[in-house]
Amino acid sequence: MAAESAAAESAGSLAAGSAASAAVRPYVVLGVSAGIAAYKAVEVCRQLVDAGIHVAPVLTQRATQFVGKTTFDALASETVQSSLWDEASPIPHTKLGQRADLVVVAPATADLLARYANGLADDLLTTTLIATRAPVIVCPAMHTEMWEHPAVQQNLETLRGRGVIVVPPEEGRLAGGDSGTGRLADPSLIVERVLEVLAGDDRRDLVGRRVVITAGGTREPIDPVRFVTNRSSGKQGHALAEVARRRGAEVVLVTTTKLEVAPGVAVERVETAAQMEAAVLAQAVRADVVVMAAAVADFRPKVVAETKLHKADGLPELVLEPTSDILAELGRRRREEAQAGQETSSTQVLVGFAAETDAVTERATGKLRAKGVDLMVANDVSAPGVGFDHDTNAVTILGADGTVTEVPLARKHAIADAVFDRVVALLAAQ
């Protein structure tokens, strides 16, 4: 419900105008192609209508085998259209394409993406996609093997190159009972993206800025097959990278994960704390902003076994040593370079993340001061829906200037926007 509320709030004036006539409301064509995730499009439809949007549903003929027209007829702003030939208008695709303020396809199957990328238009949905000049959002959903197929990825790159916005699928349980990447993005995330596009959320307040972001949990090897790590999924760091890129920044993401990276984001994949330190310190030299969202291990084994340790050989002696504090090192370097009059580094904005389970604000404030950074983003990872593995987060952004910004439970992209709002304010004040 919190994510849904965040999407509703982002509608702004759109929601405020929900009582107005359909003529002045944004007109969105909701395309539904033939995938098992079609049932989730019902919730997308409901949330869009609740946000004050006129929704025109277009279902492919095969999509009606997964979800019925009657459901959309009851929830949408007008009845379902699904045929080039059976509608009242002789050219329904032209009418829909010209009237649309935006077209969103959820789910978008591999077949739909292939036809759209190659300009094939043999049903109402694909002809509408070809006929419109409105922004288009596609939300792929399919099994993992299909999602990872080179042909699908190439089609997506083709569409991105034409300006189509892709809301990538999520990782989780799939229709076949197994798990992997391919399930349709959460309806609230799809709606949030639609509202951003309709509202002209084209904030480009990071244009000309270079931002370095870290994500994921490091792995510190014990032997060739075992390691010490933590529960960080990297989702918040990847969301930060996507938002920074959308707001115009040149973004370098140093990540330990295999998560998909947003288009236009340069990625450097690492595994250990030492590798992350080397990558970050090298990239930070030219950065205007460094955001350390990764969960870097505090300790690592002092000695790494060259061969696999076996239970039969008895319990090994595992001696740990502290890893380097990357953020503290960045703060130290900035102070030294400021004293030396090196303006570029001295004006760099440093942001840290503090995942805590108790005395959250107090511990985060201590880290803020000790590391000499500008912002510390604190979250209580023991709270429901917050932090590790979740698509949502709730944070307190503490500023070295004494400011405190509370951001209630919301999707991680919304958290990222809140963080960069504070970053932009600091950059503007320099």
Residue with tokens 């694909």: 126
* Catalytic residue chosen out of the listed positions 118, 230, 379, 393: 230
Q: Tokens representing 44?
A: 């997308």
Distance of CA 166 to the CA centre of its chain: 11
Query: Is 393 tagged catalytic?
Result: no
CA distance 252 to 38: 35
Q: Cα torsion at 55, 58, 59, 60 (round to 10°)?
A: -160
Which positions are annotated as active-site residues?
230
